[in-house]
Every structure is written in structure tokens, then in C-alpha cells.
Amino acid sequence: MRGVPQTCLDSKSHPLGWQTIQSQVEPYFAQNWKFPSEKAKQGFLAVGFSQAFSQFFPLTVNERVVGTCKMHYLALLIDDQLEKMSLADMLSYRERVVRIAHGEETPDREICIEWMLSDTLRIIREIDEILGKDLIEAFCTLLRAQTAQERLTIVHLAPYLAAREVDVGRTFYAALIRYGAKLHLSPAELAQTAALESHAFRFMGVLNDIYSWDREWKVYQEDPTDGARPFSAVYILAEETGLSFAACKRLFYSYCRELELLLKQSGEEIKRQNGDALRPEMEMYIKALEYLMSGIEQWSQWTPRYK
């Protein structure tokens, strides 16, 4: 995009390097995930999820990189599958996956998503029962948000932005950050960071809408479903204001920069409330949210996923 406002966020990449992460994780999916074709497999591998992981979660400790990255990949693969399903199939699929995630049903070893998810979550729980359980609950929250029928009825911007925070993965990615970086925060500390999470994941949702809009609009025009509307902030703002899609994307980029400032201000306010003496885990979590935001923007600018 042209004329993108300057960011005020710091960025960081994982010290292992994305190539090392890629070599540890992608062969697992290339060998085990049942892609519909070789072209689909190569397209998935070209998206750059390992590079994204390195930029999204740079504070992940080395011994938790593989499990954390596998969950990152699985969430994105499941999201891709949901996009291709009817509502009835989507709801049935959701409930089956949720029960497997909770360990309530045995995975079918012939269905890759079932056994890969089950095996990955089992290992995560064995490594860290508390943060692993939080991650499982957060994953199920994401799955339910992505398949909620209510999202189809949202027509105004304010409720859309609130719903999009959850739909884009607020609970899941926040839990993934904490598990990967071994950040055990108290309920009081989590409550204090709620505003920061809101800024970070509103940023994530809007930025996703900016960069995915051209592709989403093209797909919608090719196959418009009766009564359906694109689930995008760009579409809603254009409908409410009469502005062009390009103008709406520019406005939302400025909005993202305001969210960056709010994140910084909220972080400083938390420090003041605690007498400028936060626990190291709390300081790391605040910084991790900032790195996630900057990483999402950097990846979005080049990934073929939005082309």
C-alpha cells in the first residue's frame, strides 16, 4: 500500500531464525497433512508461516518453539477448512474438534487434523499443565468465534470491531504468547492487561481486513451468497460512509496507528499504577503484544496469503 503512516512499534525476530523454525516444523505438516493437491501443499508452504511465527512470537523459549508453532499452523489450517464448509458441516466439525481438544473423544488416526491436534495438545499439557489448559480453552474459544452465526448479522462498525477482536484470535494468540514464553500471570495481572490485549487484537483484526480486502472482495463478487455480506471492517465503513474501499483502507491504517499509541499509553499507565515496578513476566507480556502487532504488519505486507 502507498502512503502508509509510520509505525511507532518495536519489532523483533526469534533468535533461532525463521529458517531453523521452518526446518523443525514444516516437514511435519508436509508429510502428514492431507492437502488436496501438490499445488495446495506448495501454496501453503509458500505463505511463510515460519517467518510469521518468528516475527509474531519472538519471545518463545527455544524448547517450546515446536509445540507453539504447530498450534499456530493448526489454527490457520483449521480456519482455511472452515471457509470451505457449509454452516451445518462447520458446526458439526467445530464440536468434534472441541471435544478432541478437551480430551473427551479419541481422535481418528486416519483424519490428520484430529490426531495432529490431539498429539500436539497432549505434549503441550505434559510440558506445562496450567498454561497448556489455558491454551486449550483459548483455542476452543477461537473456534467457536469463527463459527458463530451471530457474526453474520453484524452491520455496524462498533459491534464489528468488538467481535473481530475475538474472531481474529485474541484469547488464542494471547494464550499462545504466554505458553511459548513461560509467562505465568496472576488473574489480577491479566485483568490489568485486558485493555492492551484489546488494542493489540483490534489492530490485528483491522490490519487483516486491510490486506485481505482485495482478495475477499474478488471472491465475493465471483460467488455472492444470497443475503451474505463480506465480514470486513472495510466493507462496513464503505457502506456507512459512502467512501471508496481504497479510502476506507487508508482511514483504517491511520486507526491502526492510533491503536499503537493507545497500546504504548496503556502500558505506561500500568507501570504507573504499579509504582514503576512490574514483575519481569508482566513486562515481557506487554512487550510481546507489541512484537505481535509489528510482526503481523511486516508479514502482511509480503505474504502471498492475501494476494
Cell numbers describing residue 232: 470486513
**Cα-based distances in Å from 227 to 82, 217, 244:** 19, 15, 22
Whole-model pTM: value is 0.93
For the segment 203-227, what is each residue's pLDDT rounded down to a tens digit?
A: 999 999 999 999 889 888 887 664 4
* 31 pLDDT higher than 70: yes
Give me the mean pLDDT over the 273-278 stretch. 87
- Structure confidence at residue 179 (pLDDT): 98
Confidence of residue 276 (pLDDT cuts 50, 70, 90): confident
Q: What pLDDT, on a 0 to 100 scale, did the predictor assign at position 90?
A: 83
Domains, the chain, in order of start with CATH, read 18-302 (1.10.600.10)
Average pLDDT over residues 266-287: 93
Give the tens place of pLDDT for each residue, 174-183.
999 999 999 9
pLDDT in tens, 227-273: 467 889 999 999 999 999 999 999 999 999 999 999 999 999 999 99
Question: Which tops the pLDDT comparison, 189 or 86?
Answer: 189
Give the per-residue pLDDT at 2. Answer: 67
What does the pLDDT read at residue 165?
93
Summarised one tens digit per residue, pLDDT across range 73-128 is 999 988 888 877 877 888 888 899 999 999 999 999 999 999 999 999 999 999 99
Position 228 scores a pLDDT of 62
How many CB atoms within 10 Å of residue 40? 13
Output the pLDDT for position 174: 98
The answer to whether residue 154 scores a pLDDT higher than 60 is: yes
Sign for the CA dihedral angle at 237, 243, 249, 252 comes to: negative
